[in-house]
Amino acid sequence: MSDFSHLDKSGKAVMVDVSEKTITRREATARAMVILPPEVVSAFDGDDISTKKGSVFQTARLAGMMAVKKTSDLIPLCHPLPINGCGIDITRADHDTLWIDCTVRVDGKTGVEMEALTGASVAALTIYDMCKALSHEIVISQIQLMHKTGGKRDFDRT
């Protein structure tokens, strides 16, 4: 019926059977962009924002890493994976724009694109949550896969 990997021939949702695949090193990096209004930009102290709840960026990194580990609980047809490593970098692209890059690694039979996308998304949502008292004009956008290796084919958004 379809070329979608998560649908069988009759169109029913299925979890992809990876039992015959070999274990390989897989890595994926996803990025989310967060655009901050002036009220939030003015709250920066160096390379971070401090609140009564603590460091915004450190909290966002932790939330993103926790989300990576819970991706299969959130996305119905994702396989639970033993994550080898996860890192989240938050950088200022310019004075009002942040890039959140989440890189996930696994030795497994399926990729980690969804884990990287989930980690970047939840880190961005955490920044929103911790800064919304200053402004609701925060914009989260351009959540996208940047790079992946392993599996059927590699991908690099350049």
Specify the DSSP class assigned to residue 16. -
Specify the DSSP class assigned to residue 7. B
Concerning whether 129 is annotated as a catalytic residue, the answer is yes
Tokens encoding 96: 């009002």
Of the residues 89, 107, 129, 156, which is catalytic? Answer: 129
Residue 9 carries which side chain, given as an amino acid letter? Answer: K
Residue 116 carries which side chain, given as an amino acid letter? Answer: A
Each as own residue / partner, the long-range contacts of residues 7-13 (CB below 8 Å, 24 or more positions apart, any chain) are: 13/76, 13/77
Residue 38 carries which side chain, given as an amino acid letter? Answer: P
What amino acid positions are annotated as catalytic residues?
129
